[in-house]
Structure 1
Amino acid sequence: MSNNTYHPGHTVDEKSNGRELSGSSQDAHGFHDEAAIGMGSPGDVFGSEDGHDIKYKTLSWPLVAVLMITEIVSNGMLSLPSSLAAVGVVPGVIVIVFLGVFATYTSWVLIQFKLRHPEVHNMGDAGMIIFGPVGREILSAGTIIFAVFATGSQILAGQLALSVLSDQKLCTVAFAGIFAVAVTLASIPRTLDSLGFLSIVGGVSIIVAGIVALAGAGAMPIRPGDIQIAVASDFTSAFISITNPVFAYAGHFMFFILISEMKRPQDAMKAAYVLQIVATSLYVVFAVVSYWYIGSGISSPSLLSLSPLFSKISFGLAIPNFFIAGSLYSHTASKLVFVRLFRHTQHIHSHTYLGWGVWTVLILLANGAAFVFAVGIPTFNYLVGISAALFASWYTYGLAGAFWLHDTFYFEGGFRGWYRKPVMLAVNVFTLLAGAFICVGGLYATIVALIRASKEGELPSPFQC
C-alpha cells in the first residue's frame, strides 16, 4: 500500500495530490457523521450546494436502484442462456447465484469505503487513497476505457436490434451511427438526476423485453428440454462462458459516481440490495427458461434464436435500455474527467461557457470513440472482453478486498484490526485473489479465443455493412 494513504482524521482531496487536509466530520474510527455526509462535509465531492445553479446531490436511493438496474441488467443478460448451454444448467445457475451474492458483498464494502471517504468520486480517487498517484491514474484510465468500450458494446447491441427490426434494409454502420447519435443526446445532461426518467424507461424496457422473449420461447419452442446438467469443455470455452455472468454484474465501477450524487449516501446499500435481487432473479429465470425451450443450439444474444416475430418484438422493447445504458456509460467516463478538471471551481455548479463547452466536448469524444471502436475495429468484441478482464474483475470484485484491508488497518489498529476479524480477513483476501483469478483467466481465455478466431478467418472487416 502507498505511503500516500488515508489516515484517520484526515481526507485526501483531489486537488491536494496526496496532501493531508483536516477532516472534522470523522469519529475515532474513521466513520463520517451521517448528518454531514451528503450535507457538505469538508471532504465531500460537491460540498454544500446551497445557492448553486447546478445541484448534483439530488438522487434518492430508489432512483439510484433504477439507474443501477438500467446500467447492469442490459445486453449482458442476453448471453447468459448460451453460457448455460456451454457449461450445463447446474454449474451455470450456481455461478450466477454465487456471483450475485458475491457482488452484493463487494457492493457493501465499496459503499462503506465511500462513507468513510466522502471525497472519493470515482475509482481513480479510491486508487489515490490505496495506492497513491500511480494508482489514481491507472484506475481512472481503466474506468474511462471500460466505460467507453461498454458504450461501444451497447451501440453494437442497438445496431443489431435495428438490423433485426428492419430486416437489414440499411448498412449496419448506418444503424450504428443512428444509435450512437441517440446515445450521445441522452448522455448530455450534467447530472444523473436528469437521466432519472430515461433510466426508469430503460430499466422497465429490458425487463419487459426479457419477459416477452420468454413468452416467445414458450409459444414457439425449438428443442424443448434439450438441456444438459453439466457439460465437459476445454478451459478457454468454459471460462469465457463462466465470465459472461461475471461481467453481467460489472457495474461497480459506477457506484462511487452514483453515490456522490445521492441526497443520503448512507442509503446506498438499499439500492444495491434492490439491484442484486432484481438482477440475480432475472438472470436465473431468463437463462434457465430460455435454455429449456430453445435447447443447446441457443444463440448469443438469445433473442436471435426466437421466431422472427418475437425476435423483433423483444429487440424493439430492449432498444430503450441499450441506448440509455450506453448513455450512462459515456456519462460516467465524461463525468470522471470533468470532475477531475473542475473540482472545487465555479464550473462544476454554474452555467459557465467553459464548463458547458468542456462537458460537451467530453461527451462527444466519449461517444465518438465508442462508435469508431465498435464499428472500425474487427476485434472490438474481444477488446471488450480484455478490458472487462483487466478492469471490471477488479472494480466489481478484487478491489473490495483491498478497500476493506486498507480501512481496517488504518481505522482499527493496524494488523491487530485484521487479526481480530479472522473471518472477514479470510473473505477479503479471497476477494482479492478472486479478482486476480478472474483477471488472469479472463485475459488468457479471451486472447486464446481471439487467436482462434483470427486463424479461422472469423473476424469481420472494419466498417462492414
Structure 2
Amino acid sequence: MATLYDDEKKHDRAVADLDSDHDSDNNTEVINALLAEDNQHDIKLRTMSWQRAAWLLAGDQVCLAIMAQSWSLSVLGWVPGIITMLVAGTLFYITSLTMHKFIMKHPQIKDICDFGYYAFGKSKIAYEFTAIMLLLNNIMLIGFHILTGAKVINTLSDHSLCTVVFSVIVTLMGIVMSLPRTLNHISFMSMFSAACMGMAILLFLIFAGIEDAPLYGPNGDYPTLGPVKTYAFPPKGTTFVAAMNAVLNITFLWVPQILFPTFISEMERPQDFPKALAVLGGISAILFIIPPAIGFRYLGQYASAPAFGSLGPVVYKKASFAFVIVPTLVIGVIYANVSAKFVYNRIMGNSRHGHSNTVVGWGVWVAVMAVIWIIGFIFAEVIPSMGDFLSLLGAAFDSFFGFIYFAVAYWQLFKGRLFRGLSRSILTVIHILVMFCGLFLLGPGLYAAVEAIIDDYSGSVKPAFSCANVAI
C-alpha cells in the first residue's frame, strides 16, 4: 500500500504555494497538469462536462427524501417549516460556492477527506476523522436505500416473499450497477433516475389531489384525527425531539456536499462546477418546497414519511411508489462509487493497477464494491428504524459536512480580511451563522436524534434479518 499522502505531496510540489490571492494562473496550470496526467491512464476519470455534472447532482438530490418533507411540515407547520426550507436552501448554495472556491485554491483535492485535510491546516487527524465519517455516512445511506428498495418491492408484490430476500435482490442489483468506475458513466443513470423520481412525485400530487381522503398518518388513521387540516405553527403537544427531527429531516435533504469534492475532481473543467450547481439550485428550489407543500395541503396531519404511504387507494400508492425503485438504486450507486473510490485509492495507491484495465485492478474494485454493499445490507437488516438513524446521520455528519467544514474553509480563504468591504462582511456574518447552525445540529440536534432512537428500542423492535412486511 502506498503512503496515504503520496498524491498530496506530489501535487504540493507542483502547486508550490497556493496561499496567495494571485494564484489563479498557478491553479489553472495544476488543473491542466492533473488533466494531462489523467489522460495518460487507461481509465480516465476527469471526463465530465458541467452538463453531465448537473445531471449527476440532480440524480443524487432528486430522491425519496423529498417525499418526507410533507411530514416535516405536518410537525413544524407552515411558518417554521417553510422558513427552515428556505434557510437550509440558501445556506446550501452559499456553502457549496465556498467549497468550490476552496477546491479551486487546492485543485488536487479528490474527495471530502482531502477537503478536511486542507481546511484544517493539513491535519492528518482531520483526514482520518473525515474518512471514518465518510464511510459511516455513505454505507449507512446505502443501507437505507437497500431497505427502501425492499419496501418498494414489498409494496408492489403484496409481500410475496421474505423481506430479507428482497433486500438481497436489491443488494445484488446495486453491486452490478456500481461496476462502472467513472462518475461520467453513472451520470447517464442519473438522468433516468431524476426523471423517474419526477414522475413518482407528479403521480403522487395528482393522486393526493383527486382522492377523497388520505388513508392514515403516523399518529392515527383517517378520520380519527379529524378532517384534514393545515396549520401555521406546530400543533399543541409537539415535543422538542419531534420538532428537531423534522428540522433534521429537512437539512438532510439539503446537505449533499459530502459527495461534491469527488464530483468536482472528475470534471474536465472543475472551474465550471458553479454552472452545474446553479442548475441543481433551480431544480431543488422547485422540488424541495412545492411538492411537499402541496402534499401537506392535501394530507395535513395525516402526512407520513414517505408521503406515498398516506395515499388512500392501494393502486395510487403502487402506481406512484413503483417509480422510486430507480432513484433508490442509482443514488445508492453514487454513494457506493464515492466510498469505493476512497477505499480503492487507499489500497492501490499510485500502482498502475489503480488506473489501468488489469485483472488485479478490476478484481480489487469489484471486491471493494461488493464489501461496501454487503455492509450496507447488514445495516439495513439490523437497524430498527432507518428514519431515526437518518436523523442521527443528519446531526452527527451533516453538521460537519454541510456547515462546520465550510465555515472553517471560508476562514482559511479569507483570514485577515474577513470584514474587508460590505459584501465580504455580509458573507462573513453568513458563515458565522453557518458555524452556529452546524454546532446546533451537533448539540441539540444530536440529542434529539439519540432520544428518538432510544424511543425505538423502548418499544417493539423489528428483529434483525426479519421477514416481516415493510411495505408502506
**TM-score, shorter chain, exceeding 0.5:** yes
CA distance in structure 2 between the partners assigned to 1:380 and 1:285 by the alignment = 25
Deviation at 1:47, TM superposition (A): 5.4
Deviation at 1:308, TM superposition (A): 0.9
Deviation at 1:379, TM superposition (A): 5.1
Matches within 5 A, 1:66-81: 66-81=55-70
Match of 1:458 among 460, 463, 466: 460
- 1:14–1:125 CA contact under 8 A, matched in 2: no
- 1:60–1:263 CA contact under 8 A, matched in 2: yes
CA distance in structure 2 between the partners assigned to 1:445 and 1:458 by the alignment = 20
CA distance in structure 1 between the partners assigned to 2:10 and 2:443 by the alignment = 31
Q: Give 3-state SS (helix, strand or coil) of 1:39's partner.
A: helix
Instruction: State the match for 1:391 in structure 2.
Output: 397
- The reply to whether residue 262 of structure 1 matches residue 262 of structure 2 is no
Q: Give 3-state SS (helix, strand or coil) of 2:289's partner.
A: helix
- 2:248–2:391 CA contact under 8 A, matched in 1: no
Deviation at 1:249, TM superposition (A): 1.5
Deviation at 1:384, TM superposition (A): 3.4
- 1:30–1:116 CA contact under 8 A, matched in 2: no
Structure 1 stretches lacking a partner, 5+ long:
1-11, 410-414
Matches within 5 A, 1:68-107: 68-107=57-96
Q: Give 3-state SS (helix, strand or coil) of 1:217's partner.
A: helix
- 1:239 is matched by which residue type in structure 2? M
- 2:119–2:405 CA contact under 8 A, matched in 1: no
- 1:75–1:154 CA contact under 8 A, matched in 2: no
User: Which range moved further: 194-203 or 20-29?
Assistant: 20-29
- 2:383 is matched by which residue type in structure 1? I
Matches within 5 A, 1:420-431: 420=420, 421-431=424-434
CA distance in structure 1 between the partners assigned to 2:157 and 2:6 by the alignment = 48
Going from structure 1 to structure 2, the CA distance change for 1:18 and 1:37 (only over 3 Å counts) comes to: closer
Deviation at 1:363, TM superposition (A): 0.3
Higher relative contact order (CA 8 A, sep 6+): 2
- The reply to whether residue 49 of structure 1 matches residue 38 of structure 2 is yes
- The reply to whether residue 139 of structure 1 matches residue 130 of structure 2 is yes
Deviation at 1:28, TM superposition (A): 4.2
- 2:44–2:355 CA contact under 8 A, matched in 1: yes
- 1:351 is matched by which residue type in structure 2? N
- 2:255 is matched by which residue type in structure 1? A
Deviation at 1:94, TM superposition (A): 1.6
Match of 1:434 among 407, 432, 437: 437
- 2:8–2:108 CA contact under 8 A, matched in 1: no
CA distance in structure 1 between the partners assigned to 2:383 and 2:250 by the alignment = 25
CA distance in structure 2 between the partners assigned to 1:433 and 1:326 by the alignment = 31
Q: Give 3-state SS (helix, strand or coil) of 2:32's partner.
A: coil
- The reply to whether residue 166 of structure 1 matches residue 157 of structure 2 is yes
Q: TM-score, normalised by structure 1?
A: 0.90
Paired residue total: 443
Instruction: State the match for 1:296 in structure 2.
Output: 301
Deviation at 1:325, TM superposition (A): 0.4
- 2:317 is matched by which residue type in structure 1? S
- 1:125–1:136 CA contact under 8 A, matched in 2: yes
- 2:249–2:391 CA contact under 8 A, matched in 1: no
User: Which range moved further: 183-192 or 18-27?
Assistant: 18-27
User: Which range moved further: 423-432 or 290-299?
Assistant: 423-432
Q: Give 3-state SS (helix, strand or coil) of 2:83's partner.
A: helix
Deviation at 1:26, TM superposition (A): 5.5
- 1:37–1:115 CA contact under 8 A, matched in 2: no
- 1:38–1:57 CA contact under 8 A, matched in 2: no
Instruction: State the match for 2:15 in structure 1.
Output: 23
- The reply to whether residue 189 of structure 1 matches residue 180 of structure 2 is yes
Instruction: State the match for 1:6 in structure 2.
Output: none
- The reply to whether residue 326 of structure 1 matches residue 319 of structure 2 is no
User: Which range moved further: 90-99 or 421-430?
Assistant: 421-430
Instruction: State the match for 1:3 in structure 2.
Output: none
Q: Give 3-state SS (helix, strand or coil) of 2:13's partner.
A: strand
- 2:249–2:394 CA contact under 8 A, matched in 1: no
Deviation at 1:20, TM superposition (A): 5.1
Deviations 1:272-291 (CA, angstroms, capped at 9, x unpaired): 11112212211211111111
Deviation at 1:142, TM superposition (A): 0.6
CA distance in structure 2 between the partners assigned to 1:310 and 1:30 by the alignment = 59
- The reply to whether residue 228 of structure 1 matches residue 254 of structure 2 is no
Deviations 1:309-331 (CA, angstroms, capped at 9, x unpaired): 11111111121110000111111
Instruction: State the match for 1:8 in structure 2.
Output: none
- 1:109 is matched by which residue type in structure 2? T
- 2:442 is matched by which residue type in structure 1? C
- 1:71–1:328 CA contact under 8 A, matched in 2: yes
Going from structure 1 to structure 2, the CA distance change for 1:18 and 1:443 (only over 3 Å counts) comes to: farther
CA distance in structure 1 between the partners assigned to 2:19 and 2:247 by the alignment = 43
- 1:138 is matched by which residue type in structure 2? F
CA distance in structure 2 between the partners assigned to 1:376 and 1:63 by the alignment = 36
User: Which range moved further: 191-200 or 387-396?
Assistant: 387-396
User: Which range moved further: 194-203 or 388-397?
Assistant: 388-397
Instruction: State the match for 1:198 in structure 2.
Output: 189
Deviation at 1:381, TM superposition (A): 4.2
Deviations 1:102-132 (CA, angstroms, capped at 9, x unpaired): 1000110111111111111111112222330
Deviation at 1:345, TM superposition (A): 3.4
CA distance in structure 2 between the partners assigned to 1:133 and 1:311 by the alignment = 49
- 1:154–1:323 CA contact under 8 A, matched in 2: yes
- 1:100 is matched by which residue type in structure 2? G
Deviation at 1:218, TM superposition (A): 0.9
- The reply to whether residue 277 of structure 1 matches residue 279 of structure 2 is no
- 1:453–1:459 CA contact under 8 A, matched in 2: yes
Q: Give 3-state SS (helix, strand or coil) of 1:296's partner.
A: helix
- 1:221–1:293 CA contact under 8 A, matched in 2: no
- 2:162 is matched by which residue type in structure 1? C
Q: Give 3-state SS (helix, strand or coil) of 2:38's partner.
A: coil
CA distance in structure 2 between the partners assigned to 1:73 and 1:148 by the alignment = 19
CA distance in structure 1 between the partners assigned to 2:296 and 2:23 by the alignment = 47
- The reply to whether residue 355 of structure 1 matches residue 347 of structure 2 is no
CA distance in structure 2 between the partners assigned to 1:155 and 1:464 by the alignment = 14
Instruction: State the match for 1:241 in structure 2.
Output: 246
Deviations 1:243-266 (CA, angstroms, capped at 9, x unpaired): 111001121000000000001101
Instruction: State the match for 2:352 in structure 1.
Output: 346
Matches within 5 A, 1:111-122: 111-122=100-111
Matched residues, percent identical? 26
Q: TM-score, normalised by structure 2?
A: 0.89
Deviation at 1:212, TM superposition (A): 0.8
